[in-house]
Structure 1
Amino acid sequence: MERLINPTPLRGSNGIAFGPDGRLHVAEYLPGRISAVDVTTGDVEVVVAPDGPIASPDDLAFDADGAMYVTDLAPGRVWRRTPAGGFDLVADGIRNPNGVACVGNRVFVNEMVPGGRLLEVGAGEPVVLAEGLMMGNAMQAGPDGLLYYPHMFPGEVYRISPDGGTPELVAGDVPQTVAVRFDRDGVLIVLSLDEAGTIWRIDGDRRTTVTTGIAGLDNAAFDARNRMFVSSFSAGGITEVLPDGGLRDVVPRGLAGPYGLAVDAAGALHVADHYRLDGVFLPFAHALAAGDGALHFTSQYGQAVTFDPGSRSTRTRAEDLDQPQGIAVRADGALVIAEAGTGRVLAVGPGGTTDVLAEGLGRPVDVALDAGGRCYVSDEQHGTVYRLDSGKPVALAEGLDTPQGLVVADGRPIVVEAGRRRLVEVGPPLRVLAADLPIAAPRHARPALFAQSMPGVPRQFTALAAGPDGSLYLAGTADGSVMRLSYPF
């Protein structure tokens, strides 16, 4: 077993803020946890595990007493974590709560939806300060005591008194405004979530920009020495932005999943990672297949899409699918798709026609084709691997614990048994090929969450791919790595 892509300590980094202990606290939306980073050593410690009450932490802030407030985006909640480590539910029923800011012990959040609101929470019903936000996000109180917040689209910064009033436009033409921050000198800093990773420094009428090259910037924080640290929701990591525009990696960037793997006919590995496909900023790509000189993926938007790596263009092949997962390419160019939400397997032809290959399954999550074109399906709900014979699912292996990624190698199906963290060759007899793999335990108690107006937290999925030389490629969902395994064993 060989690691091709090394693990990453932060699986996407969203809101960041320095805590009373001097460490930089990081909200990790996708894995559902909060970590603390020593910005000198780069050491990372998980301080809020994903098995706690917070499902999808997106932003965080500390009040004057050291309590941490966290926006839990997909369920629409705001939490307070006491300095002793206890949790209190501060607000519920908020639409995509994202940005959070503390002014003393007062707490303010905004909603990342078209027509969102800026709210004060924590004392009874939320108090509305402003409405009509176009996708609110990270915000902060300025040196004047006013709250500064973004309209992500069209790209504007507004401010308002914590006691309410009429919002005032502070800055326009700052595209894709994802975060509004102030450095220790009181200068307004604005981050864009563009692929270039643009940071704007707005000092009165003077504007300067830094192009970091970090796609998907999410947030920024300044330490007591006015050093600037930024996070990336798409690539994770923590990076210091130096005064001259240079970068210092504090925690290395890497994969958030990975979610999908594919190997093309030339043996090149391709990775779909929820926000990126082969490093291209392309939300929300998941399962992946290579064929006909292109890459094909299913999206959390409910689409099947073909991506041309040369032109970096996309073509939608199907949409309005119910939780499409695994995908494979048939010899005639049709895309075979596991539609997990309906328990079906579909074939989408080159002309857009859709045929049902099988139905009545539990939760099919991956598909694979053998040399003769026969289709195999992994059903994580029923714990079964099927072969489709004339549209009839024939069970080849049963009693598996959450079978997910599936390939056919040397005519035999091989499946990731995620619940037991192992790779098995489907028999008979069933043969364990590798065990104790870095596979995240399936979170059965926490199903897929979908936030209003946008995809929410995706279900965990461990991808498997086969190369033309017989090698197998496995997604290390526990640590963000990719491994290559020689086959046959």
Structure 2
Amino acid sequence: MNRILSGALLAATLAFGACTTTAPPTRPAAWAPPEAIVAPSSFAGVHGLAIDGKGRLLAGSVVGNTLWEVDRQSGAARVLVKGPEGQADDIAVGPKGELAWTNYLMGALRMRDSDTAPMRVVAKDLPGLNSLDFDRRNGKLYASQVFLGDALWEIDPAGQKPPRLIKKDMGGFNGFEVGPDGMLYGPLWFKGQVVKIDPANGAMTVIADGFKIPAAANLDGKGSLWVVDARSGELVRVDLASGRKTVAKQLKPSLDNLAIAPEGTIYVSNMADNSVEAFNPATGELRLLTSGKLAVPAGLKIDGNDLWVADIFGFRQVDATTGAVRDIFRMQRDPELEYPFAVGLSATHFALTSWFTGTVQLVDRKTLKTTGMLHGLKAPVDAIPMADGSVIYAEIATGSVTRASGPKFESRQVLASGLGGPVQMILGRDGALYVTEAAGKLTRIPLDASAPLRPVAEGLAMPEGVAQTPWGSFIVAETAARRLVEIDPVGGSRRTVADNLPIGLEPGPGMPPPYVPTGVAVGSDGTIYMTADRNNALYRIRPQR
């Protein structure tokens, strides 16, 4: 009897007992090829938009570290600038055809004078560098910091002079545009206003207010300023002379940016749907160019026929049979959601974890109300809500796993330390915790301290998602090798389930090596489900017996 099978039988016996009346599924002889139950899509969250001198529609992705070109007729998208240099929160086109974009997570601004010219960094060390635009009269370049900073700068396009501070503490001057008068027109994300700023002295004038979360604004050259509201999903026309607002089109929340073509078409991006839509203000016609059902699928859990997906710009429920996707939360629409990279599951709660914001959010499964928030954690990568009301979380920055309990989760017990980059966790059928480590391990951690930590498998290639099969083995995503493997829980031997998979999205500089974790879940019949961060799909792999 081979080691995987013997180990699986042992684990199954521990889990189900010797007298169970319904036997678990047996270990399959092989696996069917992966099938996409949620189709792939472009981008990895789509943000800034621009139309260049060639008429190309350009779109930026921060998480995907790429700058894309989108065909304005067919919606077909292709990568124009690869990662990590292509990371773009916003894009601007200069008077001579120069292209500039903000590397938001790197705090840098890059430019190139043409498609064939070399890229250059013209500003750096500005965390949260978000929006930018050129003054087309004289080539001056302006950029703002939002979320990781709150400031407006003039940037030297040659990169020879240090940035000039124009104004600080504005309230989040997001997607703005330079008008023909040299003034900067844009929204204040945190104040619900649209304003005009004089770059010479920072003088700011409110044009309109009463927005929920205005994310970006563009001028149409006809006396109107067009604004997208991220929370309400509204595309709003603002009359510059009077400040009067008119909702031109109701779209979905999580809107991020817009661009207006010379003929008047307004293109709008939605980060939660990887979508770009074209709106004709003259006719009111709305046309979908491209979209996806998932934005950046990461952590994954299964309960019955329900797949729960931490989608970074949303939290989604997916029907495991049909692939139908339902929104639970969306960024901006639901203010407590904080870019979830992982999801933990108990009978009563979800735990949504974000290393980017250092948070774990606990949500009641019945009411979908937030029952607890853990803030200030050091790059938490996964969390499991426990039946006793405590929560176990893993921090990659400290290499530890901790149980938080009591009022406001103030009581902390370190269950394991010195781990080589914990990534994803599950509770095993034997009651122990199993954790993947970026350093190449699958590790068993007993919750009752009855035994020391034990490596189940070593030498794995950047293991991330982990799940246990009904017959007791473990399925692990080896993202550096782009494969799924099955691991014997006793001997550690393994076999490949599937390879050449679209997983293992590379991080930009300064990001944690696991970056977007590949989620893995196994159904009660042994079917494997996997998220794919390279193409935003969700795959099913059926056992063959």
| CA-CA distance at 1:488 after TM superposition | 6.6
| CA-CA distance at 1:115 after TM superposition | 7.4
Cα separation, 2, equivalents of 1:276 and 1:448:
21
Cα separation, 2, equivalents of 1:120 and 1:215:
31
Give yes or no for contact 2:69–2:77 (8 Å, CA) kept in 1. Answer: yes
Residue of structure 1 equivalent to 2:119: 87
- The 3 A distance-change label for structure 1 pair 291 and 210 is farther
1:386-429 CA distance string (max 9 Å, x none): 12243522112111110110111121121111111111111332
1:100-138 CA distance string (max 9 Å, x none): 111121111112148732221116122233333111211
Residue of structure 1 equivalent to 2:146: 112
Residue of structure 2 equivalent to 1:405: 465
Residue of structure 1 equivalent to 2:24: none
Percent identity at matched positions? 28
Residue of structure 2 equivalent to 1:9: 42
Secondary structure of the corresponding residue to residue 342 of structure 1: coil
1:161-190 CA distance string (max 9 Å, x none): 443362222222223121111124241111
Bigger drift between 294-303 and 420-429 goes to: 294-303
Give yes or no for contact 1:184–1:226 (8 Å, CA) kept in 2. Answer: no
Q: Report which structure shows greater RCO (CA 8 Å, sep ≥6).
A: 2
Q: Does 1:137 align with 2:193?
A: no
Q: Does 1:483 align with 2:539?
A: yes
Question: Which of these residues, 172, 195, 198, is aligned with residue 234 of structure 2?
Answer: 198
Question: Which of these residues, 465, 485, 501, is aligned with residue 424 of structure 1?
Answer: 485
| CA-CA distance at 1:354 after TM superposition | 3.2
Give yes or no for contact 1:114–1:132 (8 Å, CA) kept in 2. Answer: no
Q: Does 1:461 align with 2:508?
A: no
| CA-CA distance at 1:30 after TM superposition | 0.8
| CA-CA distance at 1:23 after TM superposition | 1.1
Give yes or no for contact 2:135–2:179 (8 Å, CA) kept in 1. Answer: no
Cα separation, 1, equivalents of 2:444 and 2:148:
45
Give yes or no for contact 2:228–2:235 (8 Å, CA) kept in 1. Answer: yes
Q: Which amino acid aligns with 1:213?
A: L
Give yes or no for contact 2:264–2:280 (8 Å, CA) kept in 1. Answer: no
After superposition, residues 117-128 of structure 1 pair within 5 angstroms as 117-122=151-156, 124-128=161-165
Cα separation, 1, equivalents of 2:276 and 2:100:
20
1:232-276 CA distance string (max 9 Å, x none): 233322111243545311011342321121112x32111111121
Q: Does 1:59 align with 2:96?
A: no
Q: Does 1:448 align with 2:511?
A: yes
RMSD: 2.3
Cα separation, 2, equivalents of 1:39 and 1:214:
20
Give yes or no for contact 1:323–1:340 (8 Å, CA) kept in 2. Answer: yes
Secondary structure of the corresponding residue to residue 419 of structure 1: coil
After superposition, residues 55-454 of structure 1 pair within 5 angstroms as 56-83=87-114, 84-104=116-136, 105-113=139-147, 116-122=150-156, 124-164=161-201, 166-194=203-231, 196-203=232-239, 204-205=241-242, 206-243=244-281, 245-264=284-303, 266-278=304-316, 279=327, 280-281=329-330, 282-300=337-355, 301-316=357-372, 318-330=374-386, 332=388, 334-349=390-405, 352=409, 353-381=411-439, 383-389=440-446, 390=450, 392-409=452-469, 410-427=471-488, 428=491, 429-443=493-507, 446-448=509-511
Cα separation, 1, equivalents of 2:36 and 2:61:
24
Normalised by the length of structure 2, the TM-score is 0.82
Bigger drift between 293-302 and 392-401 goes to: 293-302
Bigger drift between 67-76 and 204-213 goes to: 204-213
Cα separation, 2, equivalents of 1:234 and 1:252:
9
Q: Which amino acid aligns with 2:393?
A: I
Cα separation, 1, equivalents of 2:100 and 2:43:
20
Cα separation, 1, equivalents of 2:149 and 2:310:
31
Bigger drift between 38-47 and 203-212 goes to: 203-212
Cα separation, 2, equivalents of 1:425 and 1:260:
18
| CA-CA distance at 1:201 after TM superposition | 0.6
| CA-CA distance at 1:155 after TM superposition | 1.5
Secondary structure of the corresponding residue to residue 431 of structure 2: coil
- The 3 A distance-change label for structure 1 pair 291 and 100 is same
Cα separation, 2, equivalents of 1:70 and 1:319:
31
Bigger drift between 410-419 and 295-304 goes to: 295-304
Cα separation, 2, equivalents of 1:115 and 1:345:
31
Q: Which has the higher strand share?
A: 1
Q: Which amino acid aligns with 1:387?
A: R
Secondary structure of the corresponding residue to residue 9 of structure 1: coil
- The 3 A distance-change label for structure 1 pair 217 and 19 is same
| CA-CA distance at 1:80 after TM superposition | 1.0
Cα separation, 2, equivalents of 1:170 and 1:7:
41
- The 3 A distance-change label for structure 1 pair 411 and 111 is same
Q: Which structure is larger by alpha-carbon Rg, 1 or 2?
A: 2
- Give the paired residue count: 476
Secondary structure of the corresponding residue to residue 480 of structure 2: helix
Q: Which amino acid aligns with 2:50?
A: A
Q: Which amino acid aligns with 1:4?
A: I
- The 3 A distance-change label for structure 1 pair 198 and 458 is farther
Q: Which amino acid aligns with 1:43?
A: A
Bigger drift between 464-473 and 64-73 goes to: 464-473
Give yes or no for contact 2:235–2:250 (8 Å, CA) kept in 1. Answer: yes
Cα separation, 2, equivalents of 1:114 and 1:329:
29
Give yes or no for contact 1:215–1:235 (8 Å, CA) kept in 2. Answer: no
Bigger drift between 391-400 and 418-427 goes to: 391-400
Normalised by the length of structure 1, the TM-score is 0.91
Q: Which amino acid aligns with 1:13?
A: V
Cα separation, 1, equivalents of 2:510 and 2:203:
41
| CA-CA distance at 1:95 after TM superposition | 3.9
Bigger drift between 21-30 and 463-472 goes to: 463-472
Give yes or no for contact 1:260–1:272 (8 Å, CA) kept in 2. Answer: yes
Give yes or no for contact 1:419–1:441 (8 Å, CA) kept in 2. Answer: no
Cα separation, 1, equivalents of 2:173 and 2:268:
18
Q: Which amino acid aligns with 2:524?
A: P
| CA-CA distance at 1:433 after TM superposition | 1.1
| CA-CA distance at 1:210 after TM superposition | 3.6
